[in-house]
């Protein structure tokens, strides 16, 4: 289970924003091992300016730590929820890549061990 810390800067933290952050954490949860209690997602949402009405004025940032390592993603969009979605997609891609590299390494090392065992002189039983 991933622990979540959410911070809102320059805007109020509404239940809708909290629910959107929960969806982000749920998307990240499937890339974390079940017994990993150290997993932590620090989510910060903010409004970058108070006087502009158009342009990229909402910012979302996630610092994520788990056994796989530390990951960080940041996005600025016109809509707060779009910024959260972009950050989630970037983090999911990073986690997927890291996990795939780890699995590939385990498979390659297992194949290397198997090839070494094939070359050993085994006594045949009669």
Answer yes or no: is pLDDT of 27 > 70. Answer: yes
The fraction of the chain above a pLDDT of 70, given in percent, is: 92
Contact yes or no for 24/60 (Cβ under 8 A): no
pLDDT at 23: 93
Between 125 and 111, the higher pLDDT residue: 111
Report the C-alpha gap between 33 and 67 in whole angstroms: 8
CATH topology classification for 3-118:
Double Stranded RNA Binding Domain (3.30.160)
Q: Return the top range by mean pLDDT from 3-12, 26-35, 54-63, 110-119.
A: 3-12
Q: In which band, very low, low, confident or very high, does the pLDDT at 60 lie, cut at 50, 70 and 90? A: very high
Domain layout of the chain by residue ranges: 3-118
Answer yes or no: is pLDDT of 122 > 80. Answer: no
Tell me the CA distances in angstroms from 68 to 4, 61, 102, one per residue in order.
Answer: 17, 19, 9
Q: Where would I find the beta strands (DSSP E) of 31-82?
A: 40-47, 58-66, 69-77
pLDDT at 61: 95
pLDDT at 53: 67
């Amino acid at each position: 289970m991933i622990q979540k810390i959410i911070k809102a800067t320059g805007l109020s933290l509404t239940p809708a924003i909290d629910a959107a952050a929960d969806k982000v954490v749920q998307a990240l949860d499937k890339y974390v091992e079940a017994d990993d209690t150290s997993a932590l997602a620090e989510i910060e949402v903010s409004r970058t300016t108070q006087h502009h009405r158009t342009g990229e004025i909402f910012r979302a940032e996630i610092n994520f730590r788990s056994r796989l390592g530390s990951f960080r993603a940041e996005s600025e969009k016109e809509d707060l929820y779009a910024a959260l979605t972009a950050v989630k997609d970037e983090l999911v891609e990073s986690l997927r890549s890291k996990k795939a590299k780890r699995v590939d390494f385990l498979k390659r090392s297992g194949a290397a061990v198997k090839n070494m065992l094939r070359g050993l002189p085994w006594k045949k039983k009669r």
